[in-house]
Amino acid sequence: MNLLPTFLIILYAYCCTSSEDLYLQLEHLISPATEQAYQCEFSRYKENIEDTLSSYENSFKTELTELYNSMKVVYEDTTKFLSAVTYLSNEILSTIEGSGDDSESD
C-alpha cells in the first residue's frame, strides 16, 4: 500500500495546526490507514510464508523419496553382494573339504 498520501496529509496537518489539533487529526488519519496497511502486509507475509512452507514441504518430500529410492538400490546391491559372497564362501569351503578328502584317501 502506498503511504505517500497519508504522509502528505500528516505533513500538511503538521504545518497548519497546533500540536493538540495535530494529535487528534493524526489519530483519526493514521489509525485506520496504519491498521489497513498492517493487515495488507500481514496478508502478504502470510501468503509468502505459506508458499515457502509449501515449497519446502514439496522439496522435502521429493528429497526423501529420492533418498529412499537410493537406499533401496543400495540395499538391493548389498543383498546381491552378500549372496555372491555367501555362494563363493560355500564354493571355497566345499572345494577345501573336497580336496581334503582326496588327500586323506591317498
Average pLDDT in the 82-97 region? 92
pLDDT of 93 > 60? The answer is yes
Query: How confident is residue 100, by pLDDT bands cut at 50, 70 and 90?
Result: low
pLDDT of 96 > 70? The answer is yes
Better-scored residue on pLDDT, 81 or 28? 81
Rounded to two decimals, what is the model's pTM?
A: 0.44
d(CA 47, CA 76) in angstroms, rounded, equals: 43
Sign for the pseudo-dihedral over CA of 35, 37, 40, 43: negative
| Burial category of 33 from C-beta neighbours within 10 Å (exposed 0-12, middle 13-18, buried 19 and up) | middle
Query: In this predicted structure, what is the pLDDT of residue 7?
Result: 66
Average pLDDT in the 13-26 region? 62
Query: In this predicted structure, what is the pLDDT of residue 76?
Result: 94
d(CA 64, CA 69) in angstroms, rounded, equals: 8
Query: In this predicted structure, what is the pLDDT of residue 72?
Result: 94
Average pLDDT in the 8-25 region? 64
